[in-house]
Structures are given as C-alpha cells and as structure tokens.
Structure 1
Amino acid sequence: MAHEASIPGIREFFAARADTWDSKYPDDSPRYAAAIAELGPLDGAFVLDAGCGTGRALPLLRAAVGPTGTVLGVDVTPEMLRRAAAHAPAARVVLADCQRLPLPDATADVVFAAGLVNHLPDPAAGLRELARAARPGGRLVLFHAIGRAVLAARHQRALTPDDLRAEPNLRPLLAANGWRMDSYTDTDDRYLVIAVKRGE
C-alpha cells in the first residue's frame, strides 16, 4: 500500500482541476445528500469536512447541523478552497493540511471525508490526526459518490489487492489509528464507510 503523494503534489493536482471539478461530476450531489442523511440527526453538531475540495458537502452539512451547529471545511489547496467558500458562505473554510488540523483535541462530532484517504501522503498519520480532533464516540465518514470498481474503470485502472480502501486493508488501518469500523458499503453507486472513534 505505497503512497507517493506529497502536499505540493496534491496542491498542484487539484489546483489545475478546481475550476472544472464540479461540472465534471454534476450528478454527485444527491449521493452526498443520501450519505449525510444516513448519519441521522446532526442538529447542533460540530462537523469537520476534511479535504472539503470545492465544498459540495458543505451546504448539505450546514443544513443538517442547524443554526446551533458548526461546519468547518479544511483543504490544502487554495484554489479548491476559494470555490468552497463561494459554494457555502454559511460554513467556515480554512486552508490547512488534514494531517495537522487547526483544532483542539476532541472537537468534532463527525468527520466527513469525501475522497480523502487515498490522497493523504501518510494515511495512518492522517487517520490518527482525524481521531485526535474527534470526540470519543465521534464518527468518521469516508465517502465517494461511486464505488471502487467504477472509479478504477473511470481511470482505466484495475482494482488491486493493495487498495487501502478495500475492507481487509482499511479495517485494520482504522483500528490501528483510533477508529472502529462500524459499516462498509462499496457498490457501483457509492463508497461509504462509517467508523467510530474509540473511547480513551
């Protein structure tokens, strides 16, 4: 499960795609909405959208937490974050590395991470940092609007056994870094993993 991503490389990759990202995937919003709805009531919650990109989840999360809740979008790419700020003016957005979050310990009730884990330079360190920022019992949502097989086909790649998003690889990775996997779904029309932060 080798990862060669770096923060400068990630920024360069996404900066070049920021302006066309949403128009490239116009049908994803209902799938985001369905995933967020499955989390149940979030009224008053603090939700961290880790690697928020252009902010497609931010308005949905903002609506879900209600007037007493907080939504914070964090991304490492300025160009993506500018689009996120325009997308969801009622949510706060911050330029930051998800492996070094500008948050105190045990802050987030929910960490929503769409398409993040495979872009982390060090997935174990990233998951540990997300766990640090989540309260005990808080939830981590790993989401993609399509499943692994469809995503691989879109990029003209084959699925390989070392894909860290595969359940046999992801479950122990989560467990070693502060999380307990609660559910795992990988179908053509969505990838959704929900994990719970273990108590201290």
Structure 2
Amino acid sequence: MKKEEQIAFFDNLAESWDSLHHPDPERLACLAELCGIAPGARLLYVACDTGTLIPYLLKKDPASILAVDYSPQMIRRAKEKLSDPRVTFLCTDTVDVGEQDFDCAVIYGAFPHFENRGSIIRHMYRILSPQGRLMICHSECRKNINAGHGENIPAEITIPLPTGYILKKSLEDYFSVDIVVDTDKLYVVSGIKN
C-alpha cells in the first residue's frame, strides 16, 4: 500500500479513533512511568494518533513533547483534545523529523505500521541525546495486537509484533535494552542509546 493510501486509511479513522480504542488508564500510566522521564526532559512521541499517551507523559513534567503523526486528521483531533503549551504537534513522517537531542522517544501503539523497522530504529538513534531512551510499547499484549491488526487493519499496513526478545536483539546494535515486557497485559521494549 502506498504511503498516501496509508495516510488516507488513518485519516478516515481519526474521528472515531477514541471511541474504537479504550486503553486501560493504569497501563498507560505504567508506560509513562517506564519511560523514566526526568522533569524538564524533551520528548518525541512517534505516530501520536489522537494523543492517547500525552496526558500521562505530561504528568512526568517534561519541558516539551513533540507529537508527530503523518495523518493530518489524527493531528487535528489531537490538537482539539489537548492544548498544553509544552506540546507541539507536527504532521510529518517520523523519518523526516530533523530535530535532535530528545531525551526520550516513545513509539506507542504504532510499531506494527513501520514497514522498514531498521530505518526507524536508526533514525531514533540519530535524534536521541546521549543516554536518550527509546521505548516501543503497547498497552495490550502482543497476541491481542497481532490478532486485532489482522482483523481490522489491512495486511499491507501492518506487520506482526515480534517477541520482546527478538525486538531486544534488533535494538542491541544501537541501544542497551534494559526493559523487556512481553506479558498478557503489556508489550514494552526499551533501552538507552549506546
């Protein structure tokens, strides 16, 4: 599926996104905690959808959050919901983000949609500060994510999540992976830039 078709697919979902997705608030709070965000940190929220994780990240008192999504309608909905001055929304492809020195980059709920996962991992490595953290996570288990994506999302724009162990191995050339959670409740693989 071409990029333009992918964007159109997610644009069409934007209006109903929040009514279709009901992530557990306790799990979202847990994910924000696992980010290890220090007060005053600079965050990058990759493929931010309608801003699902932003309220939880803001509780950690970052200096700024750059929330990026390539769907204009997802960005529009996120802006309608959230108006904190620390949050900047940018409608672009993540690999086109040129800013650098982020303290943490979070890919929440979107990793199955990255066709070239190696490119996104390398790009995150380049734009994170020394000792910056990359966190790839879902507030559901891998089995549910893979099953749900297979039923509700065209196969052309979703790739199954690997086991936490396999993703850890994929990250290890760039990150010291210190968190792997692949349980019946959460999926988290996270590490510090080497």
TM-score calculated relative to the size of structure 2: 0.85
Q: How many angstroms does 1:168 deviate by?
A: 4.1
Q: Which residue is equivalent to 2:77?
A: 83
Out of 166, 170, 173, which is 2:167 matched to?
Answer: 170
Higher helix fraction (1 or 2): 2
**Which amino acid counterpart does residue 137 of structure 1 have in structure 2?**
Q
- CA distance change for structure 1 residues 122 and 27 in 2, over 3 Å: closer, same or farther? closer
Q: Which residue is equivalent to 2:43?
A: 47
Bigger mean CA deviation after superposition, 44-53 or 93-102: 93-102
Aligned with 2:13: secondary structure?
coil
Cα RMSD for the two superposed structures: 2.0
**Equivalent-residue separation in structure 1 for 2:165 and 2:28 (angstroms):** 25
The reply to whether residue 140 of structure 1 matches residue 137 of structure 2 is no
The reply to whether residue 124 of structure 1 matches residue 118 of structure 2 is yes
**Equivalent-residue separation in structure 2 for 1:137 and 1:49 (angstroms):** 17
Q: Note the residue ranges of structure 2 that are not aligned, 5 or more in a row.
A: 152-158
**Which amino acid counterpart does residue 56 of structure 2 have in structure 1?**
L
Within-5 A mapping of 1:35-114: 35-66=31-62, 69-90=63-84, 91-104=87-100, 107-114=101-108
CA contact (8 A) 2:146 2:160 kept: no
- CA distance change for structure 1 residues 85 and 147 in 2, over 3 Å: closer, same or farther? same
Q: How many residues align?
A: 185
Q: Which residue is equivalent to 1:20?
A: 16
Q: How many angstroms does 1:151 deviate by?
A: 2.0
Q: Note the residue ranges of structure 1 that are not aligned, 5 or more in a row.
A: none
**Equivalent-residue separation in structure 2 for 1:101 and 1:196 (angstroms):** 20
- CA distance change for structure 1 residues 45 and 169 in 2, over 3 Å: closer, same or farther? same
Out of 10, 24, 33, which is 2:6 matched to?
Answer: 10
TM-score calculated relative to the size of structure 1: 0.83
Aligned with 2:52: secondary structure?
coil
What percent of counterpart residues are identical?
27
